[in-house]
Amino acid sequence: MNPELWPTVDESTLENSVRLIYINRKKAVMMYFKRVSLEEIKQETGIVRQNVRRFIKRCMQYDQTGEVWGFRALIPQKNVNEYQLDVFNRNQKNGRKTGEFNRFLDRYPDIKDLLEDLFLGRKRRSLEPVMKVKYIHKRFIEECRKKGVTQADYPLNTEWMGYKAVQRYLRRISYEDFCRSTKRFGDDASQKARHVGEGQQNQISNLFPFQKVQFDAHRIDGFFAVELTTPEGDTVTRILRRFWILTIIDVATRNILGYSISLNQEYSASDVMHCARNAVIPHKQLELTIPGLTYHPVGGFPSEKFPEIAWSVWDIICLDNAKSHYAQMVKDRLENLIGCFMNLGPVALPMRRGIIERFFKTLEENGFHRLPNTTGSEPKDPRRKDPEQQAIQLNITYEHLKQLIDVLISNYNGTPHGGIYHQTPLELLEKRMKVSGLTPRLLEEEKRSEILFMQTIQKRTVRGSLKSGKKPYIQYEGVPYRSDQLANAAYLLNTELLLHVNVDDLRTLKAYLPDGSEFGYLTASGRWSLTAHSLQTRKSINSLVKNKVLHLTTWDDPIFVYTNYLMSQKKSKKMVNKQVRVNEESTYKPDNPPAEQTKALEEASFQNELLDKAREDQINRDKLNEMENYERMLKQFKTKM
């Protein structure tokens, strides 16, 4: 064993008398390992050979953690062995009970196991979730009596009946089994104990911009007003309830790359991809209408400030274990489109994504909690003062919220940050790129499409029948999809097509043959092709129709009928968020949509116009026929008179 590798002692902390003894002992041990004779060691240090061997033996013992004691064992009065009671020692004082408890547990290992199980909550020894020490001691005494321990025996012959010894023993267990012991203080403490402070460090060196990003969502603590139109054409003011802001932050530079707002009660997979899309697509500033609200010149988003890194993507994204993060669309788009790895951290452990959690706290304290319409961080928060009424009276609208978030995040990127030595995130990003030459990876040209971020892949079988004369079509989420090309492709009946579905706009689907070759766009039948709507809205409408809450005719636009239904639910507070979301979907217009898709929608719109005109002509003919019949009957009646 090499003493050069032993744990050392800070000699300056020892008292003078103790330090001299320690130095002399250390000198003797080192001389022994240098092959100096024991006689020379005695002459040099005054330590006899028996003590030299005893000191070396102490140094080579292991402590409770399994590490060699080393030079620490040479400190005077240092205990390196646990005290063991010697019952045969005649000098043992009768009144002293030191070591009796450990000796008792050695005699009764069942009682020792009981104490540990009750304290750590193991083996269901008790129905009590967290048993206090005094109740553990009570069970301890009961078990002692079951084992035949009398009042004349230890521990029943002591004043506290071993209570203090039990207390000390349980405290020692809590120190030795830290992770299990933290369960006594709740799930949060247990989670932290299991996942924080051990193993590899969570934040290894992150120098490269966009090397690692963190994603998370946060509820906005505030109510906002929104104006909606009733089915009768009147304008009413309603309140949007608490909703979500989703953001992606670069770990290396602390820049917020992008964000999105979700009006859903729980954010979905499509909301996650909206945020990812906004973080990659070059950002554009909003037109501000709030008096006095401005973008700071030094702020902005990375894609705005540095056009050369527009369409930058990341290598690793850290997320929590929310259900939406496991969606197939999220996995597929992150891995196959962006080309990154997903790091799904432990459940309910936000400290693994501490950077973005800290950003949300800054956003709340510097932003939403300062507004008069804030709900505060809890119902009893003193900042919460009738937020609904404040939102209506002061006309704090949803449009204001979108402008406020955009400005707050833009300005955040231009504000000095303590975590990066009081540089601004944008400054640090510029240094990493231009000084260190660390530029992020860019998304390939052929993948730079807004639609691709919201795309999921499904398989559907071509339906139809030669016998009944029903032309080929496919069914997706309760709606038939057709095209002229598919109608004339009877050879595809009962063939499974691959569908690329844009979950933001279900008016069209792009179909591929089983061998992967492109087939073309299919258009939703009837009025489903008129108004843009998401997969979530389609499912909501189908559910209401199935439960006979909504009734759709051939001539109804399902989205308008659904919107009118939401407006009629005046008592439901959640409906307001849904209607605003549907209104935003209906105005969805992607940048540079494919020409084939635009053509398919235009043809569907034209066909619907022809149907409307034919219907109107038929109604006019029916009215004209009714008038002619009425006049004929009236003329006959006058003739008979």
DSSP 596: H
For residue 239, the cross-strand partners are 225
DSSP 195: H
Question: What pLDDT score was predicted for residue 444?
Answer: 93
CA distance 146 to 531: 79
Token pair of 97 as six digits: 């009970």
DSSP 337: I
Q: DSSP H helical segments within 413-463, as ranges?
A: 425-434
Token pair of 212 as six digits: 């690692």
CA distance 504 to 456: 10
Low pLDDT (below 70) residues in the chain = 1, 82-98, 186-206, 230-233, 345-352, 377, 379, 571, 614-615, 617-620, 622-624, 626-628, 630-641
Question: What pLDDT score was predicted for residue 577?
Answer: 85
Q: DSSP H helical segments within 177-211, as ranges?
A: 178-181, 187-195
CA distance 430 to 253: 10
φ, ψ (nearest 5 deg) of residue 508? -135, 155
CB burial class (10 A; 0-12, 13-18, 19+) of residue 552? middle
CA distance 115 to 169: 9
Among candidates 319, 324, 330, 321, which has minimal Cα distance to 353? 319
Helix (H) or strand (E) holding 400: helix 398-412
557 contacts: CB under 8 Å, gap ≥ 6: 527, 530, 531
Token pair of 275 as six digits: 């945020």
Token pair of 640 as six digits: 């008979």
Helix (H) or strand (E) holding 629: helix 595-640
CA distance 286 to 120: 56
Q: How far is CA 143 from CA 103, 124, 152, in A?
A: 16, 17, 16
Question: What pLDDT score was predicted for residue 608?
Answer: 77
Question: What pLDDT score was predicted for residue 372?
Answer: 81
b/e string for 98-114 if b means 16 or more Cβ within 10 A? eebbbebbeeeeebeeb
CA distance 35 to 390: 86
Question: What pLDDT score was predicted for residue 410?
Answer: 95
Question: What pLDDT score was predicted for residue 639?
Answer: 59
DSSP 136: H
Peptide bond into 3 cis (omega under 30): no
Question: What pLDDT score was predicted for residue 176?
Answer: 77
Structural domains for the chain: 3-74 (no CATH), 100-195 (no CATH), 212-447 (3.30.420.10), 451-596 (no CATH)
> Tokens 């990066």, residue?
420
Q: DSSP H helical segments within 413-557, as ranges?
A: 425-434, 484-487, 535-546
